Structure 1
Amino acid sequence: MIYDNGRNEYENFIVTEDKFDKRFLGKCEAIMALGNGYMGIRSSTEERYIGEVRDTFVAGTFNKFHESEVTELPNVADVIGLDIYIDGERLNLEQAKIKDYDRSLNLKTGELTRTVVYETTNGNELKIVFNRFVSLADKHIIGQKITILPNVKDVNISIKTGINGQVTNSGVQHFSEGEKRLYENKYLQLVETTTQSQINFVINTVHDFKINNKEIEPDSFIFMDRRKIGNSYDISVKKNEELCIEKISNIHTSRDKENEEYNLDELKKVSYEELKELSSKGYNGLLIRSISEWDKIWEKHDIKISSNDDFDQLTIRFAIYHLTIMTPAHDNRMNIGAKGLTGEGYKGHTFWDTEIFILPYFIYSDPYIARSLIEYRYNTLPGAHKKAEENGYTGAMFPWESAWLEDGEVTPVWGGADIVTGKSTKIWSGFIEQHISADVAFATWQYYQITNDEDFMDKYGYELFMDIAIFWSSRLEYNKETGEYNINDVIGPDEYKEHVNNNAFTNYMAYWSIKTAMGYYKKLKEQKPSVYSRLNKKLKLEEAYQSWCDKVGKIYLPKPNEDSIIPQDDEYLKKEIIDLTKYKNQENVGEIFKDYNLEQVNKIQVSKQADIMALFYLLENLFSKEVKVANYNYYEPKTLHDSSLSLSTHCVLANDLGDNDKAYNLFRRASRIDLGENMRTSDHGIHAASIGGIWQCVVNGFGGVRMLDGILRIEPNLPEDWTDISFPIYWHGDRLMVKITKVGLEIENVTRVNKQIVFMNKGKNYILEDKICILN
């Protein structure tokens, strides 16, 4: 992997693979994936190889293959793959004599380019350039261009291309076959329907050919096969002539929001006509339209870092690129999967990753999208109520893994192998990892405090808070011996500790959720009688409020012991301590499971990821610096960071606690989870939460931006290797530009919606009107 190929306007915008190696196809398929939030396509090569994963996903189109399995995003028919034959010899880079190779993703334009110069067995040399993009301007459009130049002698070229519905999700076929058709001897169309959710997909594609920029009509022959339609083309190309093949495709579904009054025949017609119109603009015309939208993204969101290592600048742009292509900003019925739209990992399901690790980026950078993502949780309330009822509780018990609105809990029951028993390991998270409801409450609160969006709260936010507090009140278990309420048999953020009692993160967040809901209850009753009346009728708020008053003061909240250590749960500090050096220095996550099974790991003082640390990050005002330092020093050496969520949290906290070098080291490690030298870490898709965490490292950590009890605090602490950084944030509807240098802080209010903005720096309040500078 090469990270410094960008020049001029593309400096620190290019990610490059400079050598073809079939063993590591997954790396570039994932990190160079293309998308626009509506759909995502792994960047598999046009030609096919054993071990590749050819995935195309459309957000929100979940299907369940069988009652014994859980719903997942289905792999849509492939429009990218094609076979190229040069004088009868199939392009295969495993066997070819490659003279030059380069595959690059341009983060600035969203275009993937692959250049291959190779020698055929009969001594010809060809240069083939593959270009591809998923349009940010036209959400259904995929553009593809292949340019072939024979350098030594004339060639006969055969192309076999079309729409291939024979793809699967790791062997599972989610579609029944529909109509296949060729229009005007040019436009191909395939219809397929998900087997259980009955979502119709209509895929269209068209090809155009030029030699030396002059249009040609090559000999062609249509073929149809099971779940497949395409054309074969035969073209003769002379030495030094340039053959250009353009392939424009689109994908539409019956789940698209614009298809509320749905008719399949109409969708087939509309999608075909759209392709006919837009393909007339050609690859370059459509690419220009897409780039213009990418320009808006970078104008709005770009973060500029002056570092001794340009990789830091590339890293934050890589994060912004993927945050853009993974997010279904067009539809509040959808959310972000743990792998975005870049792989089959976690089946496209939504976790707490969105609320805690990804949403802060959008709250501070694009509040409109942030609101849509939280509205998704409101729209899934029926599934949350269903889960609560099934578990004997009331209120909103949000699924650990969430998919379509009414699906409810979709966490698989069984996972990987137990090395001791030889059986599948049971995945308990869907049953007892319950802090997700508090995470949704926290995200709702954070959004409101930063945006001041009262309309959102009236329509969605207050109800979410009340419903979640009702759940927590029903979840509490009274301990007669202590006179306290406990939360027993849970999994906290640290998933290496199952069936624990009084996980500190869970207990504190449940307490905070109820206390905050109580404050909102009083506000509604006093200031918003119509909202109060509506919610009281719907949720029986008066009864709920009395329950909160009776219980909230008796919730057991683990306190620091004589060494200032807060027990992660009732038993953690009693467990065996072993030498974890081997696993702290591991090259791949999960090395501990080569020596222990999960039951054994449960008995050791070892953590998968931030747990107490996550509590300090979210509710930092509740704990002293002394307690934070003591717990950081105790728990971090026992944390393997086997979850990609962990490094960014520890980075921000290390920065808060004054360990700047450690914070920067953790940031660099987080940056390399997907971008780094390990060529297998991203095989199942990029790590969406880690991508969001990288932004938090930069803005919330080194940039020092934090919302504390409704107050904006900006208290930066730059790494030694950075000389300055500038970034935008939104606060209460205003766009602020923040610039930080070694000598001070400069903030400008660009939009001036508010005449004054109060913020805090080093314990002192400042008033921002137009621009303010604060020297260190």
Structure 2
Amino acid sequence: MNQDYIKADPWSIIEEGFDKEQVKSSESLFSLGNGAMGQRANFEEQYSGATFQGSYIAGVYYPDKTRVGWWKNGYPEYFAKVLNAPNWIGIDVFVNAEPLDLNTCTSVSNFRRELNMKEGWYKRSFNATMPNNVKVGVEVIRFLSIDLDEIGAIQYNLQVLNADAEVILLPYLDSGITNEDSNWDDKFWNTTKIVSEGERAFIQSHTMKTNFAVCTFMQTEVFVNGNKAQIKPTLKKDEQSVGNSYIIEVKKNQQLSLIKYGGYTVDRNHPKDQLQAVANLVLDEASENRFEGLLKKQKDSWAKIWEMSDIAIEGDVKAQQGIRFNIFHLNQTYLGKDSRLNIGPKGFTGEKYGGSTYWDTEAYCLPFYMATKNQEVAWSLLEYRYNHLEKAIENAHKLGFINGAALYPMVTMNGEECHNEWEITFEEIHRNGAISFAIYNYHRFTGDYSYIPKMGLEVLIGVARFWQQRFNFSEDKQQYVMLGVTGPNEYENNVNNNWYTNYLAKWCIDYTLEQLKVVKSKYPKDYNRIVDKTSLASAETENWAKVANNIYFPYSEKHEIFLQQDGFLDKILIRVKDLDKSQRPINQKWSWDRILRSPYIKQADVLQGFYFFEDHFGRDVLEKHFDFYEPFTVHESSLSPCVHSIQAAKLGRMEQAYKFYLRTSRLDLDDYNKEVEEGLHITSMAGTWMSIVEGFGGMRVLNDELHFTPQIPEQWESYTFKINFRNQIITVKVSKKEASFEITGEKALMIKVNDKPVELIPRKAVQA
């Protein structure tokens, strides 16, 4: 049974009624972020029940030493922790000396949370009876500014409902923070300075080992019935926290309001010795705008984001809520402002997985950012990988590869591999191919070739060198084989000749050889520079071609399919539908040994290859492979349903495509995997967008032309989306009766709809 307490709403995530069992899940679902920082939806006031505290700063991490009982050459020395940062949201509340704590209140009524995705704010309200029989009403609104991304704002409103009372409001900063997932219970933060200046306070601290310097800051003011209270706060300070204590005598039903601005300045962006001075400037700007002004800017900023990235669905509120939830969190996580940053799998919603960068970015996220932002944002994601090329070469060298071979990390913060599971670190090398595919995908979609001669060709060469060295020649098969790998399906480790990995490697080599010819012909200066820098010789590229032209791919003549890897048919092939439901999910019910010997697929593997290289295979070939592999797929990876949704739509199986779409779009909202309290699945959210645009809309770029094959689920009346294709904005609306296309700008564009040419003329809708 999936969770179902989130109310269906097209623009908001809403929870009604207080349930202690849902607190941690809701902390994830109602998380906030602005690309530079983020926080789980923890209560501002103290809470003694089960909670997962979490505030995060983009790019700030700790290298937690790997914890294993044995050590092998090439093993990553550390696992990069997404750090729980100093807490600035805290506001302790005492009424007649009793702490307000929803875990100890004798009753809680009218509890409601709302995450307003359209405008980018989070609101929580409730009435509660405290143990001393005082009844209070509370309403809190909070947001992290998109416009001024170093600051957030809180308005905390409180009324005592049944008596006059003494209220103490104690807003504070706290740097005594720990991570839930520390390997060795290390201290991650060192507090160096605490300063109080009237209603402002600052904590200066730095991370251990990585030495990121951070100034956490706040400013507070109190109002009674809308008038600023002339109360001088009492300073509360210890070695790791600082707060302002306001004591107010309030009348029954008087409204008490605390405005709190807070955030972080970081030495990634400012001189280390200027962090407090910059924080004061940030607070000056917040004070000048006031809470209402900051909130208006927030609404305007989100309106601009939604203007381009929204997908509107008519006739299916749950589907609508799902896609907007996904798009909202993608934009909260990454906005493309800083090429040093990337898209972590949990974003700003939890600590699990560590690291900020996985292959998810290139395989799933790049299409979303290319189409809903502009090519500069997509370029930033590619530039990130180029900036880490030397580290990728180091990573490969540690494993014994030579001559500039590059192995990009499975998990990274700074280009170094920092994933500490051997079957992932050493074997899930297909991630290398996703980097090369993203370069191709960028050029295919944007039409901009300039990245390849400037940066991309060096990346392609490093990756091709790795693949050539990773194959070995089998005397038995008289072909090149790849041994001991893990494909995207992590339920099969240390396999030989994983089809997806072999096919991707061959494509990478062939594509690199093609680009070498193009750059040599059209960009000779860049070609000579790159050949000189990489010491590339013709004998080496001839060897690449020799390998690529003679790679072994496991194949079943009986089933007429490519086999996932050698020996797949030796497994006991019981389909998922024939598994007892009590055994699901198998990753929580079965031993790892049993999983590895089973035929069950965590996520698309062979089908991931068919997604990337759809135009290499006919529809009948896709259908045969889909029908064989999908029945063995348990979809226990967040990255699985979207690929299957796109391919089911390609095959005209819209009911199945719709079910996969709902699963990917509501993966977290409905907690399919029973783990949402650990954080959201941010990168898979881009797959939800792909399910509609590439799946239902059928968008493809083929032979340098934009194609659509629009379909619509039976449950929908219509859906509408926009894409930025080569700096031209195209609006696509699909209803049960027709599909319409409209282009903005000054230039016409030829597209194809259902393989028929259609000319789009600016500001004139065309039905097709």
CA contact (8 A) 1:333 1:404 kept: no
- 1:489 corresponds in structure 2 to 484
Match of 1:140 in 2: 150
**What is the distance in 2 between the residues matched to 1:451 and 1:283?**
40
Question: Which shows bigger deviation, 635-644 or 760-769?
Answer: 760-769
Counterpart residue type for residue 22 of structure 2: F
Q: Aligned with 1:382: secondary structure? A: helix
Match of 1:269 among 252, 274, 277: 277
Q: 1:586 to 1:230 in 2, by over 3 A?
A: farther
Report matched runs for 1:115-154 at 5 Å.
Answer: 115-154=125-164
Determine whether 1:242 maps to 2:255.
yes
Counterpart of 1:311, as a letter, is K
1:335 alignment counterpart? 342
Contact kept? 1:399, 1:410, Cα under 8 Å: no
Query: Is 1:532–2:527 an aligned residue pair?
Result: yes
Cα displacement (A) at 1:578: 3.6
In the alignment, the residues of structure 1 paired with residue 220 and residue 129 of structure 2 have an alpha-carbon distance, to the nearest angstrom, of 26
C-alpha distance in 1 between matches for 2:588 and 2:25:
24
1:316 corresponds to = 323
Give the TM-score normalised by the residue count of structure 1: 0.92
SS at match of 1:57: strand
C-alpha contact 1:451 1:730 (8 A) present in aligned 2: no
1:708 aligns with 2:702: yes
Alignment partners' CA distance in 2, 1:768 and 1:430 = 48
Paired AA for residue 223 in structure 2: K
CA contact (8 A) 1:158 1:235 kept: yes
- Offset at 1:122? 4.8
Tell me if structure 2 keeps the 8 A contact 1:379–1:405: no
Pairing 1:343-492 to 2, within 5 Å after superposition: 343-366=350-373, 367-394=375-402, 395=404, 397-406=406-415, 408-413=416-421, 427-492=422-487
| Aligned residue runs from structure 1 range 115-264, under 5 A | 115-170=125-180, 172=185, 173-183=187-197, 185-256=198-269, 259=270, 262=271, 264=272
Farther-moved stretch of structure 1 (766-775 vs 195-204): 766-775
Q: CA deviation at 1:631?
A: 1.7
Contact 1:143 1:283 in 2 (8 A): yes
Supply the distance in 1 between the matched residues of 2:307 and 2:20 (Cα, whole angstroms): 37
* 1:61 match: 60
CA distance in 1, matches of 2:358, 2:201: 38
Aligned partner of 2:21 in structure 1 is 23
Q: Which amino acid aligns with 2:87?
A: D
2:119 aligns with: 109
- Shift of the 485–343 alpha-carbon distance from structure 1 to 2, 3 Å rule, reads same
> Shift of residue 756 of structure 1?
4.5
Q: Deviations over 1:428-482 (max 9, x none)?
A: 1011100111101111111111112233233222322222222212222111232
Q: Which residue of 1 aligns with 2:566?
A: 570
The residue matched to 1:607 in structure 2 has which SS? coil
Q: Alignment partner of 1:70: what SS?
A: strand
Aligned residue number for residue 49 of structure 2: 50
Per-residue CA distance 1:654-683 (angstroms, 9 max, x = gap): 111111111111111222211116694311
- 2:514 aligns with 519
Counterpart amino acid of residue 120 in structure 1: M
Q: 1:55 to 1:522 in 2, by over 3 A?
A: same
Question: CA distance change for structure 1 residues 150 and 680 in 2, over 3 Å: closer, same or farther?
Answer: farther
Question: Is 572-581 or 607-616 further displaced after alignment?
Answer: 572-581
Alignment of 1:71 onto 2:99: no
Partner SS state of residue 770, structure 1: coil
Report what 1:9 is aligned to. none
Give the residue type in structure 2 aligned to 1:220: P
Aligned-partner residue type, residue 347 of structure 1: G
Deviation at 1:550, TM superposition (A): 2.2
Equivalents in 2 of 1:374, 1:222: separation in Å? 48
Residue 345 of structure 1: how far off its partner (Å): 0.9
Q: Structure 1 residues 588 and 580 mapped into 2: Cα distance closer, same or farther (>3 Å)?
A: closer
Letter in 1 for 2:469: S
For 2:609 and 2:66, locate their aligned partners in 1 and report how far apart those are by CA, in whole Å.
Answer: 37
Instruction: Identify the residue that residue 304 of structure 1 maps to in structure 2.
Output: 312
Contact 2:150 2:282 in 1 (8 A): no
CA distance in 2, matches of 1:751, 1:202: 44
Looking at structure 2, the residues matched to 724 and 599 of structure 1 have their Cα atoms a distance apart, in angstroms, of 46
**Is the 8 Å Cα contact of residues 153 and 260 (structure 2) preserved in structure 1?**
yes
Amino acid at match of 1:551: V
- Structure 1 vs Structure 2 CA RMSD: 2.1
- The aligned amino acid for 1:332 is S
Gaps of at least 5 residues in structure 2 are 68-77
For residues 682-731 of structure 1, give each alpha carbon's deviation from its aligned partner in whole angstroms, at most 9, with x where no partner exists: 11110012211111111110111122354322111111111221111122
Deviation of the 1:194 alpha carbon: 0.6
Aligned pair count reads 746
User: Unpaired runs of 5+ in structure 1?
Assistant: 7-11, 414-426
Please tell me whether the aligned partners of residues 343 and 685 of structure 1 are also in contact (alpha carbons under 8 angstroms).
yes
Amino acid aligned to 2:139 = V
Q: Report if aligned partners of 1:35, 1:326 keep a CA contact under 8 Å in 2.
A: yes
CA distance in structure 2 between the partners assigned to 1:384 and 1:679 by the alignment: 33
1:674 aligned to 2:668? yes
Q: What code does the residue aligned with 1:350 have? A: T
Amino acid at match of 1:727: F
Match of 1:13, as an amino acid? W
Paired letter, 2:756:
K
Distance 2:102 2:11 in 1: 27
Deviates more, 1:54-63 or 1:115-124: 115-124
C-alpha displacement at 1:91, in angstroms? 1.1
| Aligned positions of 1:620-659 closer than 5 A | 620-659=614-653
Over 3 Å counting, the alpha-carbon distance change for 1:318 and 1:584 in structure 2 is farther
**Cα separation, 2, equivalents of 1:756 and 1:613:** 36
Question: 2:17·2:109 contact (CA, 8 Å) conserved in 1?
Answer: no
The Cα of 1:381 is off from its aligned counterpart by 0.9
Matches within 5 A, 1:586-665: 589=585, 591-595=586-590, 597-665=591-659
Quote the sequence identity (%).
Answer: 29
Which residue, out of 749, 758, 763, partners 1:757?
749
What amino acid is aligned across from residue 189 of structure 1 in structure 2? F
Q: Output the CA distance in 2 between the equivalents of 1:157 and 1:233.
A: 8
8 Å contact kept, 2:201–2:243? yes
The one-letter amino acid of 2:96's match is D
Greater Cα shift, 291-300 or 267-276: 267-276
Cα gap change, 1:380/1:730 in structure 2, threshold over 3 Å: closer, same or farther?
same
Q: What is the deviation of 1:546? A: 2.1
**Equivalent position of 1:747 in the other structure:** 741
Q: Does 1:551 align with 2:556?
A: no
Contact 2:63/2:209 (<8 A) preserved: yes
Indicate if the aligned counterparts of 1:3 and 1:314 stay in contact, CA closer than 8 A: no
Q: Which 10-residue stretch deviates more, 732-741 or 714-723?
A: 732-741
CA contact under 8 A between 1:191 and 1:201: conserved in structure 2?
A: yes
